Structure 1
Amino acid sequence: MDDTLLSLRGIGKRKYQAFQKLSLQTIDQLVFYYPKAHLNKGRITALADIDIADKYALEVTVRQFEKSRIKGGRTMHKFIVEDDTASAQVLFINTPFITNYFHVDGHYYIYGQVSIDAGKLTIFHPEIRPYDEGAFGIEPKYGLTDGLSNKDIRNAVAQCRERIENLTEVLPPSIVAKRHLMARSKAVLAIHFPSDEEVLKDAKWRLKYEELFHLQMALRHRKLRVSKMARAQLDNLPSDAEIAQLFSFQLTGDQMRAISEIKLDMASAMPMNRLLQGDVGSGKTAVAIAAAYCVVQNGLQVALMAPTEILAQQHYETFSKCFSSDQLKLLTASTKDKQALYDAVATGAVSIVIGTHAIIQNALSFANLGLVITDEQHRFGVNQRKALSEKAHGVDVLVMSATPIPRTLSLIVYGDMAISTIKQLPVGRLPIKTHYIRPAKYEAMLDFIAEHLAQGEQVYFVAPLIEESDKIDLVAAEQLYCTIAARYPTYQVALVHGKMSAEQKNEIMNQFKNGKAQVLVSTTVIEVGVDVPQATIMVITHAERFGLSQLHQMRGRVGRGSGQSYCFLTAKAPGKVALERIAMMTKSNDGFAIAEKDLQIRGPGELLGVRQHGLPELKLVDLKSDIDLVKSVYEDCKALFESSEDIADYLSWLESQMVL
């Protein structure tokens, strides 16, 4: 059987190109292209039970028919239908052939939109099926693109039934038996061609379990493979007291605990693979400096990769307080005389290189790389991170993330990594005071800001759009910039947004950082940005347009100094969910609590979507409602790895399917 979709009836070159837009080229890809939803057209509703306009499946008998001419010279066919409870009218416009198969005294199943006017039920152009052909049943609904209809995909999948029926089981037999799972072939068949809701429910459960199982086993397999890599243990690890002397401030208990966990990893025979998870402003960089110091003290090199030049520059300046200019170098796209730097790194003359994606270029090779640090991991694709860690075999890996992830989700997102968590704020930091500013209080807020500007403090204003849109009534960054500049004429107001070049953004952000601009009007490009201790006020306009985690990340741009900082949220006609987010922001500075709330409100899409882990997407799993299943799969995989069961064949299959 030809494996391409071109071998199926009804798929020519143009239709095939439409399938390709959905990343569907082969029959196997189509088989595992699951419906996004299922519409049960077989659930019959009595006419008397219809009290709201919606789509319904009905079982009716036609009692009357009349044909008439209506406005525009069109023809209307009107049928009066009834069931045992009530009657309704069914209307067809310009459909002369309808009387060929829909006629008086006929018994039918119909499905369509029912409207209600003064208690009278009307159905326009419903789908019709004679009673003796049976009810409509459950219809799968697929994700579509231009040039493809749901019927196109259903017809294509229908030609693949034999392939589906012959699918082999891939899960270990012990797991199938333990969880009483439906056979894989039956589950895939049922999700495309469900006979009833109970069968569909069992099929979905089986396939969700399989998705989570493959992902969890892949993460555990990665972890096991890394643990078997040989590398030299670090024998000359500095004491906690020696590390503490690197800093002019006192480290928190959470920072010291994270450093101790990193030192234990470095003293072991297996490479470190650790996530340093900390809230915004919690002091992750200090922990990274301590980790780098441990490595440099043992004669090895360190590479730190940041997602932007601004962040790389900031890390370089922070590291410069603890390392000499001979030890430490910055490598970005704008670095001059790169070859001299490449040579110094290759000979081991440079101990630490901090930069952007320029670090992963083939031209850069390390004499003795011992530690790779990536900041804001979700901003890098899996291939970039892999290229960096492959600069040396068995290298230690430390990932810093300011996106707190609830524990249950971390089993899925970071299941292959050990996790260190920082929750405490650095000593002397005050919690940010967050307020919801209603329109009546907006002018008072601007007056409050003027007082703080007069004291030498700096302010952020954030708008969600770059330029005005006729479709969405938002204050765009450019319009907001003009308004704020007019409101504070004696201060330098700067504007930065995503449409600017990297050089423009860097220049403006540095002006703000150096105090040359006192007010920065911005889009969300400052969500992950520079550390400006004098910036004490964050105003987020149209807060109803941002997600909870995004609001928290932006708020974290202030509160970096020892003074009191403020975050003001403005909103225009916020809905219930937006008010829920705003209320959470005003009462909590805890990023982990906020992440949990975000999970409750809108699920894990944002939390998972940001991490390109190189593993298959979760097509069916909804981590908001399937948390218990996540826990069950986690425990099953853990037990399987700890058992004596032979899973070599399964792992071999898994490696053939995924980026491991």
Structure 2
Amino acid sequence: MMPKEMRLEEISIDVLPGVGEQRKKELEGLGIHSIADLLSYYPYRYEDYRLTDLAEAQHEERVTVQGRVFTQPSMRWFGKNKSRMHIKLDVDGVFISVIWFNQAYLKKMIQPGKTILVSGKWDRHRLQITADRTVISEEEQKKLVGRLEPVYSVTNGIKMSWLRKLVYQAFVDYGKHIPENLPEELLQRYKLLPRAKAMYYLHFPKGQRESYQARRRIAYEELFLYECKLMWLKRMHRTETEGIVHTFDQQKVDQFIAGLAFPLTGAQQRVVSEILQDMKQPVQMNRLVQGDVGSGKTVVAAIALYANYLSGYQGALMVPTEILADQHTESLRKLLSPYDVRVICLTGKMTAKERREALAEIEMGLADIVVGTHALIQEPVVFRRLGLVITDEQHRFGVKQRAALREKGISPDVLFMTATPIPRTLAITVFGEMDVSTIDEMPAGRQPVDTYWVKKEVWPRIIKFIEKECQKGRQAYVICPLIEESEKLDLQNAQEVYEQLTVELAPIRVGLLHGRMNSVEKEEVMNAFSANEVQVLISTTVVEVGVNVPNATVMVIYDADRFGLAQLHQLRGRVGRGGGAATCILVADPKSESGVERMRIMTETTDGFEISKRDLELRGPGDFLGVKQSGLPDFKVADLNEDGRILEVARQDAARIVLQKDFPQNEDYRVLYEWLQKEKLESLNFD
């Protein structure tokens, strides 16, 4: 008998009968090392052996029937090994046809008068089942009829029937030792099954009701416990991380805002208020600001940096590219120079002398705001008094890079910004220990970009359209997925398009920009495009984020089906920034359903949050964020696409319980508190 204090995670799988050395290795290949692993190795679907009422069955629906064989099996052969067997089956007085393909061995077993169980696709018009599962044994039929039988992912020579028996045996031997891990109040409030019963029903449900209740319980458990981890991180951050208490003249901040060339949107005002309130607290700010392309995150960052300056601290803004660093530096100088704020830029392209001078200014505190790429986190950079760190397009930096910038000061406030809208379910799962602010309103006058999807055959008409727009004084981007011609991929390449349009659009000036150019070459091209000395820019996705040329009104994306939705939306956001009408043309002949769907979504909506939601549905959470860097937990049952409402509730419950002052001492939550103490929170992959 197992001692009460022994944990199922510590009991090796080979204690079960029939699990020798070889079987143990095979199970470990499936990630099953302990009894706990086996009990939580849930089926991914069920074989439904509940008998179907054929009168109500839909055409091509999967059905299960039990009936008496009425005719001798008739066989037809196609070639040497392919066959078709046919019988008539009496199902409650109704005669239907059953056919089997390539299962000639069944002929001797299926004889008139014998009762068999058959599952397969129902042809309502022909009153016919194409069988893919047949049970001949009456004893086996008695066991199966009316049941949902689990189907597991099996490899390494493990048979499904053996694994089912092993799981059942594990429940017989150890099921009563499965500990409850949710507070009683939550079980009562949501009428959740006890954990042991829910786990059993996930493997062996009596019907759909038990399966639904079990899934609901375990999905909530997974999401709640994960959110508890995040709330525990937030609690530790609040209680253990002392922050800078920024003291600044609110009237001066208000005057700065009033002096802007445009009024803040309601969403910008709300987010600014949240950030400034954080900065006044004695706890280090840890906030994510997300907003759609063009929603005005830069000015929000400028207000935060100005308040930080008024408090007597330096600010740092880290961006992923040198082009973006230059543009942010220019934007911040325009906004802040009238207020005697010195903004400098630190990138890898600087000369040794420029770099020495910049580093000296930073160390002496003469530079109030420093904008830069990853050059900011290199060892020689020493801040005199760093008070605010902003990371723009934070998903492009790794955890260690973001942490390295934060460590340049003593508990500076931290603000992450992204123009890649993240669906709420992902935001509160991946960034759940942060406070999340959302700019969900576009500035007045910003018109939606008209978006069209066309086939490649109309390319000559697109060139004519670009020519007309340039003759009106406007500018255009043409984005290609490759730099040079590739033998492997039949995709339009930037070099080829550049050479073609240079000739066809003459005397209109055409420029070329791609990632293999050095920083000086890139800067020359972008400066020429920004100054309208180049009217058409042929580029790869290096312009995806942050590039701001208000005069550009046309975005053409060649082989658009090769890009993801988020990338397409970011590229589209490069035009229409001057307030006038703009056009995005997606040139593609998709070969897949997902490619067609992406083109359709892009023409239906310009709402980045709606696009991110659809992108999540198409790709799943791991691919949406990048599997390796996402920090997503490996939920066995919960699905972030399907269980958004459960996640919201679980998060609210976790915050209410874990953030309450007496949580560690509250006896009602003792099990949860002890579990949090044992968990390795660093496995969450957050900095």
With the length of structure 2 as denominator, give the TM-score of the two structures.
Answer: 0.77
Work out whether residues 498 and 511 of structure 2, in 8 Å CA contact, stay in contact via their aligned partners in 1. yes
- Which of 106, 110, 124 is the aligned partner of 2:114? 106
Where in structure 2 are there 5+ consecutive unaligned residues? 1-8
Q: Following TM superposition, by how much is the alpha carbon of 1:220 offset from its aligned partner in structure 2, in angstroms? A: 2.8
- Summarize the Cα distance change of 1:271–1:310 in structure 2 as closer, same or farther, 3 Å threshold: same
**Matching residue's letter, 1:232:** I
Match 2:207 to one of 196, 202, 207: 196
State how many pairs are aligned: 648
1:138 is the counterpart of 2:148: yes
State the 1:621 CA deviation.
3.2
Aligned to 1:418: 435
Match of 1:658 in 2: 681
Deviation at residue 209 of structure 1 after TM alignment: 1.0
Counterpart-to-counterpart distance in 1, 2:62 and 2:485: 38
Give distance in 2, aligned partners of 1:507 and 1:25: 56
Question: Are residues 1:566 and 2:594 paired?
Answer: no
Q: Counterpart in 2 of 1:231?
A: 243
Q: Distance in 1 between matches of 2:176 and 2:349?
A: 54
| Partner Cα distance (1:580, 1:495) in 2 | 30
Mapped to 2, the partners of 1:506 and 1:166 lie a distance apart of 67
What is the deviation of 1:396?
Answer: 0.8
Q: Distance in 1 between matches of 2:381 and 2:463?
A: 50
Out of 320, 340, 362, the residue aligned to residue 307 of structure 1 is 320
Matched, 1:221 2:232: yes
Is 1:45 the counterpart of 2:67? The answer is no
Describe the shift of the 1:564–1:184 C-alpha distance in structure 2 as closer, same or farther (beyond 3 A): same
1:203 Cα deviation (Å)?
0.9
Residue type at the aligned position of 2:316: A
Alignment partner, residue 288 of structure 1: 301
Conserved in 1, the CA contact under 8 Å of 2:244 and 2:412? Answer: no
Q: Which amino acid counterpart does residue 182 of structure 1 have in structure 2?
A: L
- Which residue of the partner structure matches residue 470 of structure 2? 453
Question: Where in structure 2 are the equivalents of 1:309-324 lying within 5 Å?
Answer: 309-321=322-334, 322=336
Residue of structure 1 equivalent to 2:3: none
- Would the aligned equivalents of 1:466 and 1:478 in 2 still touch at CA under 8 Å? yes
Aligned-residue identity in percent: 33
Cα 1:582–1:54, aligned 2, differ >3 Å: closer, same or farther? Answer: same
Compared with structure 1, are the counterparts of its residues 2 and 347 closer, same or farther at alpha carbon in structure 2 (3 Å cutoff)?
A: same
Residue 243 of structure 1, CA deviation = 3.1
Instruction: Check the 8 A contact 1:537/1:558 in 2, yes or no.
Output: yes
Instruction: Provide the C-alpha distance between the structure 2 equivalents of 1:69 and 1:492, rounded to a whole number of angstroms.
Output: 71
CA contact (8 A) 2:512 2:525 kept: no
1: CA distance, partners of 2:548 / 2:375: 23
Partner of 1:514: 528
Which has the higher mean CA deviation after the structures are superposed, 158-167 or 576-585? 576-585
> 201-210 vs 157-166, which deviates more?
157-166
- Equivalences for 1:181-580 in 2 at 5 Å? 181-228=192-239, 229-237=241-249, 239-241=252-254, 243-244=256-257, 249-254=261-266, 255-321=268-334, 322=336, 328-332=344-348, 351-360=368-377, 366-405=383-422, 410-412=427-429, 414-423=431-440, 425=442, 430-436=446-452, 444-462=461-479, 484=501, 487-491=504-508, 493=510, 501=516, 503=517, 507-508=521-522, 511-515=525-529, 517-522=534-539, 524-541=541-558, 549-570=566-587, 572=589
The answer as to whether partners of 2:285 and 2:414 remain within 8 angstroms in 1 is yes
Alpha carbons of structure 1 residues 564 and 33: separation in structure 2 relative to 1, 3 Å: same
Q: How far apart are 1:463 and its partner, in Å?
A: 5.1
Matched AA of 2:315: V
Residue equivalent to 1:169? 180
Change (3 A) 1:126 1:587: closer
In structure 1, what is the equivalent of residue 5 of structure 2? none
Q: 2:100 aligns with which of 80, 86, 91?
A: 91
- 1:624 deviates by 4.4
Whether 2:128 is the aligned partner of 1:121: answer yes
Between stretches 441-450 and 145-154, larger displacement belongs to 145-154
Which of these residues, 601, 621, 624, is aligned with residue 638 of structure 2? 621
- Work out the CA distance in 1 between the residues paired with 2:24 and 2:219: 34
CA contact (8 A) 1:301 1:350 kept: yes
Instruction: Give the Cα–Cα distance (whole angstroms) in 2 for the partners of residues 567 and 362 of structure 1.
Output: 43
Query: 2:449·2:576 contact (CA, 8 Å) conserved in 1?
Result: no
Deviation at 1:59, TM superposition (A): 1.9
Q: Report the counterpart of residue 61 of structure 1 in structure 2.
A: 68
Deviation at 1:230, TM superposition (A): 2.1
- Matched residues in 1 for 2:525 and 2:155: separation? 45
Change (3 A) 1:71 1:390: same
Residues 494, 540 of structure 2: 8 Å contact kept: yes
How far has the Cα of 1:175 moved from its partner? 1.4
* TM, length-normalised to structure 1: 0.79
User: Once the 2 structures are TM-superposed, how far is the Cα of residue 356 of structure 1 from its aligned partner?
Assistant: 3.7
Map of 2:4 onto structure 1: none
Alpha carbons of structure 1 residues 10 and 308: separation in structure 2 relative to 1, 3 Å: farther
The 10-residue stretch of structure 1 (396-405 or 486-495) with the greater mean CA deviation from structure 2 = 486-495
Q: 1:651 to 1:355 in 2, by over 3 A?
A: farther
CA shift in 2, pair 1:206/1:129, >3 Å: farther
CA distance 1:77–1:524, change in 2 (3 Å): same
Q: In structure 1, how many angstroms separate the alpha carbons of the residues matched to 2:176 and 2:377?
A: 46
CA shift at 1:205, angstroms?
Answer: 0.3
CA contact (8 A) 1:316 1:330 kept: no
User: Which amino acid in 1 is paired with 2:215?
Assistant: K
Alpha-carbon distance in structure 2 between the residues aligned to 1:506 and 1:332: 11
**Structure 1, 503-512 or 413-422: larger mean CA deviation:** 503-512
CA distance in 2, matches of 1:347, 1:31: 61
**Aligned residue type for 1:273:** N
State the shift of 1:460 in Å.
Answer: 1.9
Is contact 2:243-2:284 (8 Å) kept? yes
State the Cα RMSD in Å: 4.7
Seen in structure 2, the aligned counterparts of structure 1 residues 120 and 190 have a Cα distance that, compared at 3 Å, is closer
Post-superposition CA distance 1:72-122 (Å, at most 9, x none): 4448583524132223244364754x4565444332223345679x83736
Contact 2:544–2:571 (CA under 8 A) maintained in structure 1: yes
Question: In 2 relative to 1, CA 471–110 (structure 1 residues): closer, same or farther, beyond 3 Å?
Answer: farther
Q: How far did residue 4 of structure 1 move? A: 7.0
Query: d(CA) in 1 for partners of 2:556 and 2:158?
Result: 45
- Cα distance between partner residues in 2 of 1:466 and 1:158: 57
TM-superposed deviation, 1:182: 1.3
SS at match of 1:187: helix
Secondary structure class of the residue paired with 1:461: strand
CA 1:55–1:253 in structure 2 vs 1: closer, same or farther (change >3 Å)?
closer
What is the Cα deviation at residue 398 of structure 1? Answer: 0.9
